[in-house]
Homo-oligomer: A and B are copies of this chain.
Amino acid sequence: MMFTEAEIEYLDGQRLGRLATVGPDGYPQNRPVGVHYNTEKQTIDVVGYDLSTSRKWRNAESHPYVSFVVDDLVSVKPWRARGIEVRGEAELLRGPGVSPFGDEVIRIHPRRILSWGLDPENSRRMVKRDVAAPAG
């Protein structure tokens, strides 16, 4: 498995993530997007209205490295933050049925995953790992 059960449960419970892409001028861009974990593909599927005409789509087309982060605060006192960052390669897909979430998708294939605050046994633990593309 690419993601742990705790990470998948967290992704499924959150509404908004932020997608960083790199623009043609070399500036990163950072946009709020919905959170959709694709169980079958073990990817993050970014969808949205008119996605394929968006700047983030064109960015991912010319520079396919992206980073997606979802995080929130469990409590302020004591400070308890949790979240997951997925760095990966973007695949652009268009057409009926390309994803259960929509017909235009920026699909993020994870290459490195960082998560924090998701382990109930140790809420301060930060987990970082490189992940390989699944075979096939």
Contact = CB atoms under 8 A, between A and B. Distances in A.
Interface of A: 15-16, 18-22, 25-32, 63, 65-69, 71-73, 76, 81, 83, 85, 87, 111-112
B28 A69 contact: no
Contacts of A67: 20, 27-30
Number of copies of this kind of chain in the complex: 2
B18 A65 contact: no
Contacts of A112: 27
Across chains A and B, which 10 residue pairs bring their CB atoms closest together, nearest first? A20-B20, A20-B28, A30-B69, A30-B67, A20-B30, A27-B65, A28-B67, A32-B71, A18-B18, A28-B28
B22 A69 contact: no
Residue in A22, A30, A69 whose Cβ sees the most chain B Cβ within 10 Å: A30
Contacts of A73: 15-16
A81 B83 CA distance: 20
Contacts of A71: 16, 18, 32
A67 B61 CA distance: 19
Contacts of A32: 69, 71, 81, 83
